[in-house]
Chains A and B, each alone.
Chain A
């Protein structure tokens, strides 16, 4: 019994090994160089080309039924209608690394002219995207980019500089230009958070902000309860604190919840990056004056116009090319095929009810 089992096991192992080994000869290590040129934009751009009727422009968000993407894709639908195209939104119900691949394959099989994608993983989708491009599709990423070699243009919601400048300007206005402030960030090793914190410190070093002093940076790990406690701790350890900046939606909402139920409500300024739906009640009850984020609807709108312009041949994705994006006006393609939506949108009591995300 066990001998025949061993025999079969050995055979199975040997066969599996053989198949794998034939995949390559010699050794392949991380250092070994290899020509990995991806597909790149080809052909000349013709800025005056007509956008053809009936372009199939498909949106593939990180996951379906996510309010942020539902709102963003509504902007995409608006733009697709303006250019007379066919809008479609498909996507997985979970935001895992590889779950978008079969949807990309399906779209490329259906002959989509443009795929507008927010990537769950910058690399897992690359193979499928390159196949879709070989089949004639154009790829625009929005919100979350892929490896630049796998797409034509990336629509960046906001530049890190723009986000840092806006938040510093907001807190400076709210504390009257002087006093102690602190940061409530996500986790100590979140790359984008740390980049923003660094840029905000640089911005605060400018002469016009010399009255403001950063006394502490705490981390809520993007966990609601931890952020709440960190905010509480901040107020206890710095009695003279005048304001807090939280460049994370989870942190901002938790901090606002703490302030709105504390004696500091209205005295201590709070701003950062948040969504209108999370922050509405704190703006209405006076805890928070102004905060910022981009407008996802504009993001989707711009992504759709970019895709249509690519499919029409108005642009190819090269740096320096410009194109018209409906109500948003003219945009220019930056380095590595990146387009920045613009300065962040500032939300306050006057405009917050215009947004639903």
Chain B
């Protein structure tokens, strides 16, 4: 397998992770795969509007946004994590544990104004546990977060068992799904956009953001050029945990039901959306606008197929195929380019020939 060579940014960062020129941020934004996802999104929205009855309405758009809200929130920090070549599979369990804690504290009589900040801090701590195991203990994030995925979910069951806490006040549960006055768009869209802006600016126009691409392309080189690889990754895991907890608070209020099994399996949808959005699972490649496009594309396709009365089994087949294609296609394209170099096509992104891709590199420290 030949690693991704779809964006010039990658090659540059890998060859010499020095403070990049301002143009590289723009290039990352215009990443080929990100653009094609947004194109695919527009095409599917147009097609669904004409072909699927009931799709093209504001009310339905509101449903889609609520459906993908939790995925969209968690996909933002996950993008940064995957760009550094790591992964966090414990996000859905963090969400479930947050939900369970939220329910238990509510039963204990604490005010929601105290519970919510506590839950966000808890999420950050859970993320820090992942981050420390990856950076200090030097374990592969895939293994670490598969472990904490089971651990956090187990803790959630210890706390809440198979009970559900559902007597949250209507002002909060209704607030979570309420719409911006005069529009069918729920308020959570604003929360997603604000966080997208924060993570987008961080990734695409700061030195920190550029260092993520450098780490994802070649973490040895990144370290030698003075980037604090461990600390950077630790912060990313903390952010992912905190946002997963935020999604947990939102989820609990959205469905008005705190349960230990909330969002079981959501981590796969998040990773799917991120990869669909043009982020390379091998690290070093990707852009946030593409990821937002990927999240919306998943949501749109699910919604349109549901409205067209396609069964849930067929639906998961379609989603799975999309994901496989989004991972395979860039590699196939890269391979073709490497075989038949055209103008502007980089032959190999690293000096000395193509590397073997190293997903979820464990060699981040020492």
Contact = CB atoms under 8 A, between A and B. Distances in A.
A32 B201 CA distance: 41
B235 A9 contact: yes
A127 B173 contact: yes
Interface of chain A, main secondary structure: loop
Contacts of A105: 63, 66-67
Nearest to B121: A13
A122 B254 CA distance: 14
A36 B109 contact: no
Given A92-B312, A98-B262, A121-B259, A106 B167 contact: no
B202 A8 contact: yes
B316 A93 contact: yes
Contact of B235 (A5, A123, A124, A126): A5
B91 to A, nearest CB: 16
Given A64-B311, A93-B316, A124 B255 contact: yes
B256 A29 contact: no
Interface in B224-242: 227-228, 231-232, 235, 238-239, 242
B113 A28 contact: yes
A234 B114 CA distance: 51
- Name the prevailing secondary structure of the B interface residues: helix
B208 A1 contact: yes
B311 A102 contact: no
A30 B313 contact: no
A16 B106 contact: no
Interface in B165-211: 166-167, 169-177, 190-191, 194-195, 198-199, 201-202, 206-208, 211
Interface stretch (B146-154, B272-280, B282-290, B301-309): B301-309
A26 B113 CA distance: 8
Nearest to A187: B162
Given A2-B228, A15-B195, A30-B167, A102 B306 contact: yes
22 contacts: A8-B208, A12-B199, A16-B191, A16-B194, A16-B195, A16-B246, A23-B172, A28-B113, A29-B109, A29-B112, A30-B107, A30-B109, A34-B169, A35-B170, A64-B312, A65-B313, A98-B251, A105-B63, A109-B60, A121-B164, A121-B257, A122-B166
Interface of A: 1-2, 4-5, 8-9, 11-13, 15-17, 19-21, 23-24, 26-32, 34-36, 64-65, 88, 90-94, 96-98, 101-103, 105-106, 109-111, 121-124, 126-127, 147
Interface of B: 53-54, 57, 59-60, 63, 66-67, 106-107, 109-114, 116-117, 120, 164, 166-167, 169-177, 190-191, 194-195, 198-199, 201-202, 206-208, 211, 227-228, 231-232, 235, 238-239, 242-243, 246, 249, 251, 254-257, 259, 261-265, 302-303, 306-307, 309, 311-313, 316
